[in-house]
Structure 1
Amino acid sequence: MTDTPALKPERPFFSSGPTAKFKGWSAENLSTEALGRSHRSATGKARLKYAIDLSKELLGVPEDYLVGIMPGSDTGALECAMWTMLGPKPATVAAWESFGNVWIQDAVKQLKLSDLTTLDAPYGEIPDLASIPQDNDVVFTWNGTTSGARIPDTDWLAADREGVTINDATSAIFAQEMDWPKLDATTYSWQKVMGSEAQHGMLILSPKAVERIESYDPDWPLPKLFRLKKGGKINTAIFEGATINTPSLLATEDYILALEWAKSIGGRKAMFERADANAKLVTDWIEATPWLRNMVSDPAKRTNTGVCFVFQGDWYESLSEEEQAAVPKKIAKMLEERHVGYDFNGYRDAPPSLRIWCGGTVEQEDLKRLLPWIEWAYEEVKGGRA
């Protein structure tokens, strides 16, 4: 029987979204000047514009790209891009986990695109992206939030490709470098890598994306929340802080606080390094633990944010499917009850698994303290004591 570990994580927050806030975060540090003010006021609009400008600076977004705040988190931003840009050319939607499959369903059942190809792969794998024609529009997820599989590179996207690229980068951005010249519409949410409050998303458009939006009017109705044009041209005010609908200025201040923290520690490069180091710690532990297996077999395709792993071995494989599915749930429940680790069970549609968030707001010492507890809980479950 494994001894109960002596130390617990100081910050037991390992959810893959909303993720942990950075160490030292306090609500007392939030600016309150804009609270109670209209988001259309000079004060409110200035704070929204500051969030946009700081995001663009930290991410290294090209100067001629537009960055705007969208409603509905990453989902709202991504679907806005799909609804406003897809249709005039053949399209390919590629998926290898649950959220990518939502974009497939949008293309098939909602937009009902007439010239559509879908590519999918099981959890832990990535489809043959090189098979996508360069004149096709393409929708893809840079980093599989619920599978832990990310694209290893962008070699499959030609620099001079005709089609537009729509990139769901929500669990990658601020942890992995974006290849901006090959990306036309990139989306993410505040509550992922930056650990900020949820509900708001970001939409980043290249000049090529702007040209598509201005030159194309979809056949389907566009909800107000997706209307990016005014007088046939892109409404640039949206990308200067005049949001389409009313945002939470409190959430905006929380996002700004996280951005300022990231800048203070060295910007996106420091965030990349922190995520890489955290993920290496967890993946090395998985490799050294015989009853665990990384959900992603190819190391080149493994994420540095939401690391996903499944169980293996004689004991586990002797269980029924129902019993196997219960193992990670029991472990996660045991450790939550002991305030050791919160919300690290695998995604509901994924294979039975655990998923530990390793993004830059997580402290490595907390991960080091969590892992022995997982070993202890596994032995308790295996021994029938849980």
Structure 2
Amino acid sequence: MKKHNFSAGPAILPQPVFEQAAEAVRDFNGMGLSLLEISHRSPQFTAVLDEAQVLVRDLLGLSDAYEVLFLQGGASSQFFMTAMNLLDEKGKGGYVDTGSWSAKAIKEAQAFGPVEVVASSKASNYNAIPKGYPIPDGLTYLHITTNNTIFGTQYKALPETATRLVADMSSDIFSKPVDTERFDLIYAGAQKNMGPAGVTLVIVRKDALGKVGRHIPTMLDYRTHIKKGSSFNTPPVFPIYVSMLTLRWVKANGGLKAMQARNEAKAKLMYEAIDSNPLFDGTVAAAEDRSVMNATFNLIEGREDLFAPFLELCEEAGCSGVKGHRSVGGFRASLYNAMDLESVQVLADVMHAFTEKYA
């Protein structure tokens, strides 16, 4: 039986990518060696790293003002690296608090300079993206988290400000076009739309660096990795290769505009299945801020006893990873690039059959 992987991450990847990556583990490009054992400084892997960088630039339309880095440590390391490299006591970092990940970024940034939370939706359990808030003058940057996997909210438009932006795009990068010129820095853990866990993409504007007075440890200075082409130390070879394959797949399938249309069609089907079903409550996230990547929903009040039976029905149909995040409960269907519309239809059919049985 086919599995339909709705996990929030590590997440679904395209089937051709799995097949090519598996072959590379056995024998990389006919070398008689596994990708896992070749030198990261070999011309064969250098070509992989170069192509991955070119694909990022091509897909996002990056200008030469930006550098593309492939680092380790996950997006969680970027919570402090961004502030360490960009913020000092002479400036102030502005942050919009829209969920667990932005809250962690705020906590880490406070160690490196003044931080102002310019807006927050914490009081409403992060069920919406704040709007209409004043943005102070003089901010070094404004940090946002573009998609919130746990609560199922997503920015539909960037904040109206002249302040340059820093963004955690871990869960929606490469899912739609981005106005990259608005940003000083973008970071994203790979394990949603780009590749497996183990590599983090960082896109940084070169002229934003070198302006803080503090000593930055060599390994945590973006300029170190720029100078060494993401190979200051041994890079995560396999995750970078799989990311390169995935970006190839995105480009071959029409690029970011095609991904956006594909993803919006899946989200439309998913939210229609939620909203038309009398047993499910889709108000976990405000309607205008619903994520195209992560649809969150719950059972209606009084029918919590049906939680386990619904998950059992999902598993019987091959729908995996539908259980919501432990901090909010309920259900979550992640609809990343590699998810097919047909798989979303399977889950919608499960929801209908569930209601036929229990309503």
Per the TM superposition, whether the score is higher than 0.5 is yes
Q: Is the 8 A contact 2:84 2:109 kept in 1?
A: no
Question: CA–CA distance in 2 between the matches of 1:244 and 1:376?
Answer: 54
Q: Is the 8 A contact 1:78 1:203 kept in 2?
A: no
Mind listing any 5+ residue stretches in structure 2 that lack a counterpart? 30-34
**Displacement of 1:187 after TM fit?**
0.9
Query: Does the residue aligned with 2:278 lie in a helix, a strand or coil?
Result: coil
What letter matches 1:79 in structure 2?
A: F
Partner of 1:3: none
**Displacement of 1:184 after TM fit?**
1.0
Q: Is the 8 A contact 1:150 1:303 kept in 2?
A: yes
Partner of 1:14: 6
TM score, norm. by length of structure 1: 0.81
Partner of 1:344: 322
Partner of 2:196: 197
Aligned-residue sequence identity (percent) comes to 22
Q: Does 1:237 align with 2:236?
A: no
Query: Does the residue aligned with 1:349 lie in a helix, a strand or coil?
Result: coil
What letter matches 1:17 in structure 2?
A: G
Q: For the structure 1 residues 227 and 99, does the alpha-carbon distance in structure 2 shift closer, same or farther, using more than 3 Å as the test?
A: same
The two structures, once aligned, show a CA RMSD in angstroms of 2.6
Q: For the structure 1 residues 202 and 28, does the alpha-carbon distance in structure 2 shift closer, same or farther, using more than 3 Å as the test?
A: closer
Q: Is the 8 A contact 1:77 1:187 kept in 2?
A: yes
Partner of 1:152: 156
Moved more, 87-96 or 65-74: 87-96
What letter matches 1:308 in structure 2?
A: T
Q: Does 1:98 align with 2:100?
A: yes
Question: CA–CA distance in 2 between the matches of 1:51 and 1:22?
Answer: 16
Q: Does 1:26 align with 2:30?
A: no
TM score, norm. by length of structure 2: 0.86
Partner of 2:130: 127
Which among 330, 350, 364 is matched to residue 341 of structure 2?
Answer: 364
Q: For the structure 1 residues 224 and 214, does the alpha-carbon distance in structure 2 shift closer, same or farther, using more than 3 Å as the test?
A: closer
Q: Is the 8 A contact 1:20 1:361 kept in 2?
A: yes
Q: For the structure 1 residues 251 and 114, does the alpha-carbon distance in structure 2 shift closer, same or farther, using more than 3 Å as the test?
A: closer
Q: Is the 8 A contact 2:98 2:128 kept in 1?
A: yes
What letter matches 1:135 in structure 2?
A: G
Q: Is the 8 A contact 1:291 1:311 kept in 2?
A: yes
Partner of 1:56: 57
What letter matches 1:123 in structure 2?
A: Y
**Displacement of 1:334 after TM fit?**
5.1
Question: CA–CA distance in 1 between the matches of 2:311 and 2:61?
Answer: 37
Q: Is the 8 A contact 1:85 1:212 kept in 2?
A: yes
The C-alpha deviation readout for 1:262-303, integer Å capped at 9, x for no partner, is 111111111111111111100111121123232455433221
Q: Is the 8 A contact 2:79 2:109 kept in 1?
A: no
Question: CA–CA distance in 1 between the matches of 2:8 and 2:50?
Answer: 27
The C-alpha deviation readout for 1:81-101, integer Å capped at 9, x for no partner, is 222112231222212221111
Question: CA–CA distance in 2 between the matches of 1:329 and 1:177?
Answer: 38
Query: Does the residue aligned with 1:178 lie in a helix, a strand or coil?
Result: coil
